Amino acid sequence: MGNLQEGDKAPVFKGKDQNGKNVSLTDFKGKRVVLYFYPKDMTPGCTAQACNLRDNYDQLLKKGYVVVGVSTDSEESHQKFIAKYELPFTLLADEDKKIVHQYGVYGEKQMMGKTYDGIHRTTFLIDENGEIAHIIKKPDTKNQTEQILELWV
């Protein structure tokens, strides 16, 4: 996992969203950004996390937050995920793994005795000045919004 710390300047990411539109951290200057990294569209934990953010999206908007999800899935996969679960926020398709490496969330994982490389589920809360205010290294997929609001009022 990466060496980013709270208080560090957030790496300026650039990627394509679910519709092929270019998105960068600089697009959100002056806003609070919830940048969450998740392993795979349509999987149980990732769906629970996305739906928790969806169900509390209005509350996050009222607090001035922008929500951006990132995985290494394709734009097409993101489109299906968004359509199936009616997700109101942007998902970035990081197929070349550039953003996940910038943020240090891609690396060795283990599941059921097998070792493989993948995304470590992590949420970065980036303040209006582009600094990392908080890092949630073990997001609670069913209560992600509550974790965010407890840290960042």
The CA-based angle 138-141-145, given to 5 degrees, is: 95
pTM for this structure?
0.95
pLDDT in tens, 86-132: 999 999 999 999 999 999 999 999 888 899 999 999 999 999 999 99
CA atoms of 15 and 102, how far apart (whole Å):
12
Taking all residues of the chain, what is their mean pLDDT, rounded to a whole number? 95
The string of DSSP letters for 125-142 reads: EE-TTSBEEEEESS--TT
Report pLDDT for 136: 97
Can you read off the two tokens belonging to residue 113? Answer: 């005795």
* Per-residue model confidence as pLDDT tens digits over 5-27: 999 999 999 999 999 999 999 99
Active site residues: 46
Retrieve residue 124's tokens: 């970065």
Nearest to 122 by CA among 88, 85, 147, 86: 147
CATH number of 14-21+30-151: 3.40.30.10
Tens digit of each residue's pLDDT (9 = 90 or more) over 32-71: 999 999 999 999 999 999 999 999 999 999 999 999 999 9
List the Cα angle 63/2/39 in 5-degree steps: 65
